[in-house]
A and B are shown apart, each in its own frame.
Chain A
Amino acid sequence: NAGVTQTPKFQVLKTGQSMTLQCAQDMNHNSMYWYRQDPGMGLRLIYYSASEGTTDKGEVPNGYNVSRLNKREFSLRLESAAPSQTSVYFCASTQRVNTEAFFGQGTRLTVV
C-alpha cells in the first residue's frame, strides 16, 4: 500500500532557483494538503485542494503555487526560492473533512 508518495525526500536549492515538490495518493481521497513544519511550530497549511480542480490558500501561501493535476496528484511549486522557505514540507490527504489525514514522508528543503 503506497498511501501518499512525496518526492523528493531532500533538496538543496540556491536562492532564486525554482522547484516543484510532487505528491500523489492512491487512496482515492478528495482532499489534499501541503504543509510546512518549522522548529517549535505546528504544521502550517500552505495550500489545500478540497477536490479535483479546486485549490485554496492556507495560512502561509506567499511564495508558493500549487496544481491539482488530477484526483491523485497535488504539486507544490516554489518559483523563486528564498532562505525563509527552508523547512520540512509534508503533503497529506483525507477522504472526507472529518476523517484522519494521511501524510507523505516529507521533503527536507534547504535554501542557501
Chain B
Amino acid sequence: AQSVTQLDSQVPVFEEAPVELRCNYSSSVSVYLFWYVQYPNQGLQLLLKYLSGSTLVKGINGFEAEFNKSQTSFHLRKPSVHISDTAEYFCAVSDGGRRALTFGSGTRLQVQP
C-alpha cells in the first residue's frame, strides 16, 4: 500500500524567507510524486511532478522539489516566498498503473509580512 506523510501541518514564514515543506512516502514499487497547491475556496493546482529522470524537479511559481529515493522523500522548496504563496500544499504519490493518487494530510503555509 502507498502512503504519504507530510510532517508539518503548519509552516509560518516571513515574506522573502526560504521555505521547505516536507513529504515522505511509502510505496513498494516505483512511484510518481506530485505537489499540489490549494488556495482558499478553490480546487487543487499542480505545482510540479516527478515521473522519472532528474531528481530535481522545477515547477511553477518558483517552487522546486527533490526526489530522494533512499530517504523516500520529496520535499518542496522555494528560496524566497511571497504573501501570495499562502495556501495549503499537498504531496501525493501514485505507483502508476491502476492505482489512484494518495494524498498527504496537507501543510498550511502562512507567509507573514
Are both chains from one complex? no
Enumerate chain A interface residues (CB-CB to B < 8 A): none
